[in-house]
Amino acid sequence: MWLAEQLLDHGVAEPGLVAGGGPATFDDQCAVDLGQDEGLVDREGLVDRERQVGGDRRQVGLERVGAVVEDAAYAAQSATRYAEGPVFLVGDAAHRFPPAGATGMSAAMHDAHNLAWKIGMVARGHAGPGLLDTYEAERAPVGRRTAAETAAAWTRIFAGTGEPFAGRSLAQLDMGYQYASAAVTGDGGPDADPPGADYIPGAAPGCRAPHLWLDSGRSTIDLFDRDPVLLTAPAGGTWREAAAAFGVPLTTVTIGQPAWPALYGVAPDGAVLVRPDGHVAWRARAAGPAGDLAAAARRALS
């Protein structure tokens, strides 16, 4: 028997109730895309659809998917606390979202990315334990708002009332947030993440540093790894000299691409300090006192 037929026999006939990009297996869970269209909710249509995307699923017994099917309910939840002492909640343990937009896995990875470099810095003795407090300060607002906005989008999808992501584009929701914490030094620029915004990559402090192809064929994104990175254009020599005097590991990269300063919102003699998770910790729009960089790095790591 086809999985779709079994779902229908158990009264699961709502479009999209069990969603996925076609039949997929997650350990012992199975999902079949029932579509968003009322017209698809008939036995023949569903079986046809299952046959097209999944081939032969006859061996899938409903007992294998029963827990998922019969308890299918979507949650929009965010934990009250994301950290307590040495315990940090990451991924689905911290938040669960309805599948509108499919943001659960990416949010889980962003949580881990945010936390891993901080633990590394503290464990290596380059940062104080206060850096770990910024995990909750940065990730909890993202989890709460993603829960709220995916829940609203999920409701709109089923009500058929307009665009699912009315408050922010999905890309902005997933990638465009701007961290505000003790590890980020603001530069007084406008809010980079207003409601209704589409995702426009930019290097405002707290935002994800934008991609740009480098001469080496790599992306700027590939530069952000174990240590913070100071990006400058060739004219940013004063900032590179300031970085050389640092006591913490800091990689300095000079970017020759003419497009870089404008993309990152700096003059050719400006600089941008990017954290290992690819978020901007500090930005100097032009040349300035060396102490500014030292102060920003201290703030980012203390």
Ligand X SMILES: Cc1cc2nc3c(=O)[nH]c(=O)nc-3n(C[C@H](O)[C@H](O)[C@H](O)COP(=O)(O)OP(=O)(O)OC[C@H]3O[C@@H](n4cnc5c(N)ncnc54)[C@H](O)[C@@H]3O)c2cc1C
> Considering the complex, what minimum distance in angstroms separates the CB of residue 274 from ligand X?
24
> Considering the complex, what minimum distance in angstroms separates the CB of residue 99 from ligand X?
6
Number of alpha carbons in the 13 Å side-chain half-sphere of residue 246: 25
Taking the least distance from each CB to ligand X, the nearer of 35 and 104 is 104
Phi and psi at 24, nearest 5°, equal -145, 155
Report which residue's Cβ sits closest to ligand X: 91
Rounded to whole angstroms, the Cα distance separating 125 from 301 reads 10
Taking the least distance from each CB to ligand X, the nearer of 27 and 215 is 27
Taking the least distance from each CB to ligand X, the nearer of 1 and 93 is 93
Taking the least distance from each CB to ligand X, the nearer of 100 and 242 is 100
Taking the least distance from each CB to ligand X, the nearer of 74 and 246 is 74
> Considering the complex, what minimum distance in angstroms separates the CB of residue 268 from ligand X?
38
- CB-CB neighbours of 206 under 10 Å: 23
What lies within 8 Å, CB to CB, of 10 at 6+ separation is: 62, 66, 69, 70
> Considering the complex, what minimum distance in angstroms separates the CB of residue 94 from ligand X?
8
> Considering the complex, what minimum distance in angstroms separates the CB of residue 88 from ligand X?
12
Gyration radius (Cα) of the chain, Å:
23
> Considering the complex, what minimum distance in angstroms separates the CB of residue 162 from ligand X?
23
Taking the least distance from each CB to ligand X, the nearer of 54 and 228 is 54
Rounded to whole angstroms, the Cα distance separating 167 from 8 reads 35
Q: Which residues bind ligand X (CB under 6 A)?
A: 20, 26, 29, 31, 91-93, 99, 102-106, 108
Estimate the crossing angle of helix 237-244 against helix 290-301, to 10 degrees.
Answer: 50
> Considering the complex, what minimum distance in angstroms separates the CB of residue 247 from ligand X?
35
List the structure tokens of 182: 């003790």
> Considering the complex, what minimum distance in angstroms separates the CB of residue 233 from ligand X?
36
In single-letter form, the type of residue at position 240 comes to R
Helix (H, G, I), strand (E, B) or coil at 19: coil
Please report which residue ranges of the chain form alpha helices under DSSP H.
3-9, 43-54, 62-70, 104-123, 130-159, 170-175, 237-244, 260-264, 290-301
Cα dihedral 13, 31, 111, 166 sign = negative
Contacts by 257-264, CB closer than 8 A, 24 or more apart: 257/212, 257/213, 257/214, 257/215, 259/212, 260/212, 260/231, 260/233, 261/233, 263/201, 263/202, 263/203, 263/210, 263/212, 264/202, 264/203, 264/209, 264/210, 264/231
Taking the least distance from each CB to ligand X, the nearer of 15 and 91 is 91
Taking the least distance from each CB to ligand X, the nearer of 104 and 189 is 104
